[in-house]
Structure formats: structure tokens, C-alpha cells
Amino acid sequence: MAENENLPWSLVVTPKSRWFHLNLKEIWRYRDLLVLFLRRDVVTVYKQTILGPLWFIIQPILTTVIFTIIFGNIAEISTDGLPHVLFYLSGIILWNYFADCLKATADAFKSNENIFGKVYFPRVIVPLSTILSNLIKFGIQFLLFIGVLIYFSFKMDLHDIGPDIILFPFLLVMVAGLSLGFGMIISSLTTKYRDLSFLISFGIQLVMYATPVIYPLSEAPEKYKIFILANPISSLIEAFRYIFLGSGAIDFYYLLYSLIFTIVILFLGLVVFNKTEKTFMDTV
């Protein structure tokens, strides 16, 4: 027994002393746990449903149909000459990725408090698994979008996809970074202020109307465009539409603004998340 007492510890867990701490080596060490969380997020959500993963496709289709009827046919909002289905679907799938990541990340501390209180692992793995699991969901919805795009390409002349497509992965990374940063900040605040959890879905819905999801930026009144473009997601959706549909525009100044905004909000999110992690179990 005495010999065992003199053996060094294999792992020493200490509170993070720095505000900004992202130990990639530690995250890589727990990569198996990241895969388990990823599988949990993908499989268990629709495990006891009849249609299962088909909901990944049904949700954007139903939303597109509703938008087409209400905003396209009744309100007659312009879609820059594009078929309503293509226009709305292109905005919906990118917005859904941002909104789903934000909502799940914002609930990271509250929904995992039982796990956090029993065993140690890098807490940032939970929001990272959310980003990756929703990326799989986005991939399925993106294939649906490509299928619809191919269908309409046989019926009418559409924009040819060019070299601008190399920007597509960067757009996704920025959307993921924005949702991760905002989500970690909100998740940290909801440990003390539970009221915020009730405002998330409502707030996301409001912000969607300040984003060119259901209308093209070109149709927005000139005096409001500056406020719409202040939303960092707006330029990303506009660039996404231009790449695949030729609608909208790629404005590198606003994309640079979105990139800087993403870096800043991601930095702040990690700072707040790391600070909250130390005292999380004392406040819940």
C-alpha cells in the first residue's frame, strides 16, 4: 500500500488559470468522447420517432412550402427572379445550421449538468460535438438543395457555379464559429440567469427577419440595409446564394467584417465559457 502511495498521479486536474484556454492536445486526447457525444446527438434525437432521420429533410421542405405560400404567393415578396423554392431553401438550410447550433450550444451547461458534476473531461467538447452533429444534418439538407437545384437547371437557365465555390467551406466555418461563440456566451449566462433560456428561440426567430432569408438584400429599403448588413450572418447568406444561384453578391468588405466579428465573438465565448466552467457546479 505504501508503495502505491508514492506512485505519481497519471492525471492531475486543475482549474484553468488563464482566461483564454483552448488545449487542443487535451481535446485530441478525448477524441473518443467527442465521437460518442457526436453519435448521441445524431442518433438519439430521432431514435424513437417513426420517420427518424427523414425529419432532417422534412423540416426544410415544410418550411420552404410555408414560405413560398405566405411570402412568395400572398405577400409577393421578390426573390430576384429565382424560383421561390430555390431561393427560400438556400437561405433556410444555412440559417437552420446557425440556429440549431446556437440553440444546442446555448443549452450546453444546463442539459449536461449531471455529466459535468460526475466526471472530468474538457467541457468544450460538448459544444464542439453540437457543431459537428449539426454539420451532418446540414450536409443532408445541402444534398436536398443540390437535388432541387439540378431539377430546376433542366427547366430554366440558372447561374453556372464557378470558382467562387472555394469560398463555401469558409462560409460554413464562419457560421459554425458565430453560433459556437454566441452559444457559449449564452450558455454561461443561463447558469445564473435562467430567464435567458426562454428568450433564445424567440430571439433567434426575430433575428431571422433581420437576415435576408425570406427576402433578397436588393429589395430591402436603402435606409435599413446598413442594419441588415450589421448582422454578420447576412453577408454569408448573400455569398452562399451568389455562389450557387447567382443572386445576391459577394462583398469582400462585409465578409471581412463577418470574419473579424466571428473571431472576436469566438474569443469572448471561450473566455466566458472557461470562466463559468470553474464555478458552474456551485451555481446550478
Amino acid at 259: L
Chain centroid, CA 147 distance in Å: 23
Q: What is the dihedral of CA 22, 24, 27, 31, to 10 degrees?
A: 150
pTM score, whole prediction: 0.85
Predicted confidence band of residue 282 (pLDDT cuts 50, 70, 90) = very low
**Rounded distance between C-alpha atoms, residue 231 and residue 211, angstroms:** 7
Question: 115-124: per-residue pLDDT in tens?
Answer: 766 677 677 8
Query: Residue 24 CB: number of other CB atoms within 10 A?
Result: 8
Quick one: pLDDT at residue 277? 66
Q: Measured between alpha carbons, how far is residue 100 from residues 202, 223, 242 in Å? A: 13, 30, 23
**Better-predicted residue by pLDDT, 235 or 42:** 235
Predicted confidence band of residue 241 (pLDDT cuts 50, 70, 90) = very high
pLDDT higher than 70, residue 91: yes
Quick one: pLDDT at residue 7? 54
Question: 7-61: per-residue pLDDT in tens?
Answer: 565 555 555 555 555 666 777 787 787 888 888 777 766 665 656 667 788 889 9
Spans of all domains in the chain: 26-283
pLDDT higher than 80, residue 196: no
pLDDT higher than 80, residue 125: yes
pLDDT higher than 80, residue 284: no
Quick one: pLDDT at residue 278? 62
Average pLDDT over residues 196-224: 86
pLDDT higher than 50, residue 2: no
Quick one: pLDDT at residue 64? 93
Quick one: pLDDT at residue 255? 94
